[in-house]
Structures are given as C-alpha cells and as structure tokens.
Amino acid sequence: MSRAHLEEIWRAGVEACLPSRVLPPHLPAPPPGRTILLALGKAAVPMARSVEVRWRGPLSGLAVAPHGAEGILRRVETMAAAHPVPDESSIAAAERLLALAQGAGADDLVLVLLSGGASSLACLPGEGLGLEEKRRLTRALLRSGASVGEINCVRRHMSRFKGGRLALAAPPARLVTLAISDVVGDSPADIGSGPTAADPSGLEEARAILARHGIGAPERGWSETPKQVPGAWRLVANAATALEAAAARARRLGYKVRLLECEGEAREVGAGHAALALGAEPGTAIISGGELTVTVRGPGLGGPNQEYALAAALALTGSRGISGLAADTDGLDGVGEAAGAFFGCGAPGGEAALAANDSGTWFAERGALFVTGPTGTNVSDLRIILVR
C-alpha cells in the first residue's frame, strides 16, 4: 500500500503541472499579424501542442525538445537536441530560433514557451568558444556540485543566445514568454538560463563560480549580459504547483503533511529528511520539491533523486514503517532511464554504492527504480516520505 500511495501522491503533483492544465489561462491575445511560436525545453512539445489546439489565426514556429521526446505537431515544426550536454544539434536549434525571432515584424507576436532543459537544447557558445570547450565546461560544472543557479550564471555569460539575447532578437514584434519553472525561487534568469530575461548577475560573478569549484575558465567566449530586455514574462507552473497538488492528494489519503522546498547536496538532504521522518508522528507525509545537486566522485549510474533515496534509506536503517519515493518530475533523473527510486528502512551494501555515486545500479538490482518515461512537464524534483 505504501508504494501505491507514494506513486499516487507523486503523480498528482506532476499532473497538476501538465501544460494542458496550466498554459491556457495565460495565453495572450492573437496579434493582427502572425504568431511565431518558439518552444524550448523538456516540456516544449506538450506546451506547443496546448497552444496549437486553442490558437486562432496564423501559427508557425519551432519546438526544440530532447532527443526521443520531440513528438509530432500539426502547425509547428519540431527539432531534437542534446541534454544535459549540448551538441551540434543544440547549436542548430539556437540559430534557428534566433532567425525566427529576427524575422518577426511589427504586427507579429513572438510567443516563447520555456521549460527546464532549454539551457542545453539551445546552445550558441560565445564568440571564439568552440563546442567541445563548451561541452567540457558543462560536464565539469555538472560534476562539481555547483548549484543550478551557479551553472546557469556561467552559461549566460558564455552565450550568444541565453541571458536575454533571444529577447533582443524579437523587436519590433511583441514578445511574450510563458514559463514552467524547474528552479527554486523561479528566477526568470535561471529558467533555461533566461533566453528572454534580463540578467542581474555580472561577468565577474560567473568567473568567480568557476574559481570556487576549481574549474579552469576558458579564455574566450565571455560577454556581459543585457540588464534590460523587451517583452512580457509569465510563470504558469512551478514546484509549488506540484507540491500543493501532492499535498492535497496526501491529505485525501489520510496523511498529515509537511511541505519543504530545498536545494543542496542530494545525499545530505536525503539524510536530513530521513531524520525528520524518524522524529515525525505516525501518519505524516513529508513532501519536498526543489532541485538537488551531486558532487560526482565515482563512475556509477544514477542521479540526484536516486542518491537522495539511497542516503535516506541508509539513515533509516533499523527503523520501521517509513518509505519514500524521490523522482524528477520530467521523468529522467541523471544517468539512466529512471525518474528516481523507491526506498525504505535500510540499504544493505548501500555505503559502497553511495561512495561510488552508483545508486542507480543499487536500486536496479533490487527492482526499486521508478521508471515513467517523459512526463510532459518539468518542475524539478518531487520527493515523498510516508511515516505509517
């Protein structure tokens, strides 16, 4: 019953953030001219489809999604690119999106549909910076334990697309961005590295992040970001949307709910949440959102949610009646095909797996991986611990 309740609560949170539910109330009025739709991110195709079925008047454009999730649209072209490390298709996508925005006229609307994952899917390195150097830098940042905000700050200052540059390409057309947030705090500059948002951070801040994490800074590719950009920007769903829906379902199932939104190292947060569960009243559901990080030291498989789950299970060793599920709302957690993992009280042999960042293998051997496939949305992670 616990595993069934865990999945039911998790799915309630994800379903509340599907584009078909959250996007329609925020659609702008059609323009006198054309509507050019630019969708990018893990939810790009479902977001574009939600607009397609409701839009009156001319509609064209491009939706850029991860390989394997591009789908088919009736009025908008689709394109696949790489995630989480960009490739040649990511550059082609960014160039195409910029060209479409630049081709818009004064009577047109450029409608940008933005979701997490866009940073890698549309990538145009700064002047003089090659793709391989950008890939090396991205891998180093992802393995360093840097926060999402830190990674995106560096990305914005080494790009000709992010950090408001797409917004600068749209005038004289009207520009509207509708975003599904996968970052704590919902900063427009951090969602997809803010291609249509002004960037409050400075160039020296980005350089300092690399120095702080011991990553060599490229000599070329740097530029300051625009501090003012045109257009309207609207948030349509975020982690709070998922948390509230998950909490409502947990209460319906009879649990008392404690909600948390957090960042940090996955194994440390997992152990901390396990401690909260050990001190909680019976019948409590601890539900948390926010995106965690992993400092990669070993060659194993897994992702932040699986590492959180393994650390929590180890911290629960010797207890009874506590179970959990940690999974990414987009359906993919780090390396592998799983969204996350179920966990319980104890993890025999888990210490070695955690040291090797090999939580994915440990959970796979025990049939505890949670596999969903692409969900059609992306509001970071959703984790549930139930105290029976």
249-307 tens-digit pLDDT: 999 999 999 999 888 999 999 999 999 999 999 999 999 999 899 999 888 889 999 99
Quick check: 72 pLDDT over 90?
no
Cα–Cα distance measured from residue 376 to residue 30, given in angstroms and rounded to the nearest whole number: 25
Task: Kindly report, residue by residue over 302-322, the tens digit of the pLDDT.
Answer: 999 999 999 999 999 999 999
Task: Kindly report, residue by residue over 16-51, the tens digit of the pLDDT.
Answer: 999 999 999 999 999 999 999 999 999 999 999 999
Both tokens of residue 367? 């049939």
Task: Kindly report, residue by residue over 138-163, the tens digit of the pLDDT.
Answer: 999 999 999 999 999 999 999 999 99
Quick check: 1 pLDDT over 80?
no
Task: Kindly report, residue by residue over 172-227, the tens digit of the pLDDT.
Answer: 999 999 999 999 899 999 999 999 999 999 999 999 999 999 999 999 999 999 99
Task: Kindly report, residue by residue over 83-142, the tens digit of the pLDDT.
Answer: 999 999 999 999 999 999 999 999 999 999 999 999 999 999 999 999 999 999 999 999
Residue 146 region by backbone torsions, left for phi larger than 0, else alpha for psi between -120 and 50, else beta: beta
Q: Are 196 and 233 within 8 A, CB to CB?
A: yes
Neighbours of 174 (CB within 10 A): 21
Residue 272: partners with Cβ closer than 8 Å, 6 or more residues away: none
Domains in the chain and their CATH numbers?
A: 2-12+239-387 (3.40.1480.10), 20-237 (3.40.50.10180)
pLDDT-derived band at 365 (thresholds 50, 70, 90) equals very high
How many angstroms from the chain centroid is the CA of residue 67?
Answer: 16
User: What DSSP character marks residue 228?
Assistant: -
pLDDT-derived band at 334 (thresholds 50, 70, 90) equals confident
Q: In angstroms, how far is the first alpha carbon of the chain from the final one? A: 10
Quick check: 335 pLDDT over 90?
no
Q: Are 330 and 377 within 8 A, CB to CB?
A: yes
pLDDT-derived band at 68 (thresholds 50, 70, 90) equals confident
Neighbours of 21 (CB within 10 A): 16
